[in-house]
Amino acid sequence: MQGRGSSARFGRTAIVSRISTLALSMAATFASLYVAGRLWQDGQNRVYMAKELDRITGQGKSVVSVDDSWKILECRQQLKKLASLEMDLEASRQGGFVPKHYSEVAKTGSRRKLRIVIGILTEFSHKSKRDAMRKSWMGTVETLGVASKRMEDEKGVVVRFFIGRSADRGGSSDRSIENENKETNDIFILENHVEASEEPSKKTKLFFAEAVEKWDADYYAKLNDDVYVNIDSLKNVLTAHLNEPRVYIGCMKSGEVFSEPSQKWYEPSWWKFGDGKSYFRHASGEMVVISHALAKYISINRLVLGTYAHDDVSIGSWFIGLDAKHVDERKFCCSSSWSS
């Protein structure tokens, strides 16, 4: 009896020992996975910090504290959250949600939704072109301020020439534009853009981003300052697309990508377009119209949207991966007539 009891106790002890060993092994495995996961996450953070530190030191800063490094990470997370919230809010607006502020504004009548905001890309030396457009659209230059306000009130159309600041900020070019705007009240100055002939894409991106924050409209358009448009005909074209929340309208085209620096239309990023060297389908830059939702998308993502040598290609690239409707509107082509 004593021998059998001793054997039973020994067997139970062996079983308990095996269970304990198995439990410890599992615990060790989970602990290893947890530590590995944390190390991988910390490694990712360190990689990002290293890139940010390289970027900052490349801008002339020789020393960056640990606190600054963690602030960079925190800002990165906050920007992601903010972009996500803004996109959710815009989606809700498209679904019919109206924030309290806008509903109160609507009740008081202090703010009315516009049909379209038209931005005309211009340069400091193009005053004669601006005057020609003013006479064509609104009558004489002397009565432009009144005519511009009447167009906004009666037709829901805002027209602005948009331009940045000169490299010599506050110089004669800036003063000339400011004085011109005092007379005409139709120039939208992009304070955060420095005028440069090789950067129309960045200038156009900033116009859309700032215009959608300044004016609440169904559509936002970009024109060159040598394009003449019949406002009533334009409004009629756009009316057909009011029920389409994400629409991109223009004279759609494609074309050759030029890879030689000596060529007039040289594209520095030519290699991105493959061996065929042909641009994707996009709206010609003379006249482009986008809906409110797409303008808001540009505003929210302005810091991460890349640009190409030409602004029309850049605009097309921002929407090529979106669920946006591309409308090939032949009236927007240079050879068309806006008489009707």
For the domain that residue 268 is a member of, what is the CATH number? 3.90.550
The DSSP code for 320 is T
Q: Is residue 26 part of a domain?
A: no
Kindly state whether residues 197 and 81 are assigned to the same domain.
Answer: no
Q: Coil, strand, or helix at residue 219? A: strand
* Domain range enclosing 90: 67-101
Please give the tally of structural domains in the chain: 2
Give the per-residue pLDDT at 253.
84
Q: Is the per-residue pLDDT at 179 higher than 90?
A: yes
Encode pLDDT of 104-163 as tens digits. Answer: 444 444 456 899 999 999 999 999 999 998 888 765 554 566 777 888 888 999 999 999
Q: Is residue 37 part of a domain?
A: no
* Furthest CA-CA distance within the chain: 121
Give the per-residue pLDDT at 18.
63
**CA 302, CA 213: separation in Å to the nearest integer?**
13
**CA 59, CA 24: separation in Å to the nearest integer?**
52
Q: Is residue 56 part of a domain?
A: no
**Residues 338, 233 contacting (CB under 8 angstroms):** yes
- The residue from 76, 101, 126 where one domain ends is 101
Q: Is the per-residue pLDDT at 278 higher than 90?
A: no
Give the per-residue pLDDT at 79.
66
Q: Is residue 8 part of a domain?
A: no
Encode pLDDT of 190-247 as tens digits. Answer: 999 999 877 889 999 999 999 999 999 999 999 999 888 888 899 999 999 999 999 9
- How far the first Cα of the chain sits from its last, in Å, is 113
Report CA torsion sign: 81, 82, 85, 87.
Answer: negative
Q: Give the confidence band of 293 by pLDDT, cuts at 50, 70, 90.
A: very high
Residue 94, both tokens? 């498209």
Kindly state whether residues 247 and 134 are assigned to the same domain.
Answer: yes
CB atoms within 10 A of CB 175: 11
Kindly state whether residues 78 and 199 are assigned to the same domain.
Answer: no
Kindly state whether residues 93 and 191 are assigned to the same domain.
Answer: no
Give the per-residue pLDDT at 109.
44
